[in-house]
Amino acid sequence: MTICVDYILNDLRAAARHFLLAEESFGAEAMVKVIDGLIGLSSQLESQSQESLNQIISQVYAAQRRHDLIGLADYLNVELYEFVQQFDTCDSSNAGI
């Protein structure tokens, strides 16, 4: 089974946007969706990719613990987004399904 990462990417953008606007509760809600998607994705990754994902998640968590909302948004919107995007196997004609 392959994972369509479009939903994860959309949730990453939404979470980043909320954190940039200092809407922490909305950002946290979007992060729940992101984490759920990442759990599904990580089960299909090779060990090296899982390690890379763990490193990025550690950076995200550290920024969140520091209440560095700009840094958190940056990690979500750039680092994690680009990492997840490389695994997009969706057929673009089915992206809305």
| Structure token digits, residue 20 | 């940039």
Q: What is the pLDDT of residue 4?
A: 75
pTM: 0.84
Residue 94 has pLDDT above 80, yes or no: no
Shortest CA distance to 42 belongs to which of 78, 91, 8, 77? 8
| Structure token digits, residue 51 | 């390690």
More confident site: 2 or 9: 9
pLDDT digits (tens, 9 = 90+) for 20-64: 999 999 999 999 999 999 999 998 899 999 999 999 999 999 999
Distance CA 63, CA 7 (A): 23
| 95: three-class secondary structure by DSSP | coil
| Structure token digits, residue 25 | 């509760």
The residues, ordered by sequence, that sit 6+ positions from 81 with a Cβ below 8 Å of its Cβ are: 9, 12, 13, 16
Q: What is the pLDDT of residue 88?
A: 79
